[in-house]
Amino acid sequence: MSEKKDQEYFADGMAEEILDLLTKIPSLTVIGRTSSFQFKGRSEDLRAIGSALGASYIVEGSVRKSGDQLRVTAQLINSQNGSHLWSNTYDEPVGETLKVQDQIASNVARALQVTVGADYQSQRASFKSAEAYDLYLRGRHAYNKFD
């Protein structure tokens, strides 16, 4: 949804990081990237996606990046009935991307009323170079596309 429509790698990187953070919560089972990403960009009914993945809940959202500003909207959906359980929008400088990822993962865990362990709750430091992080995400995106 970015103005230049060239930020797919960034959104994929955000999604992968949030998946990774959620897998660190011991009482939470998270569907793998390959399985969940097959539905990326498709507008199927979330109940059908949940059924196909065997998932009770689905996290979906959008990432928009304009200059040095980042807007992430994340939603937690009950895949049994399609209802929204939680939703939030985060507006931060690009340099705060890791902070936004941590906030989303924590808020999803809270919305699911899952106990978050002390190891998970320790805050990660913001990265020092937004440009380096952007290049890292571009590299991961290319690697995942095998090009």
At 9-54, the pLDDT tens digits run 878 887 888 888 888 877 788 999 899 999 988 888 999 999 999 9
Share of the chain above pLDDT 90, in %: 16
Using only C-alpha atoms, the chain has a radius of gyration, in whole angstroms, of 15
| CA angle, 52 then 58 then 77, to 5° | 120
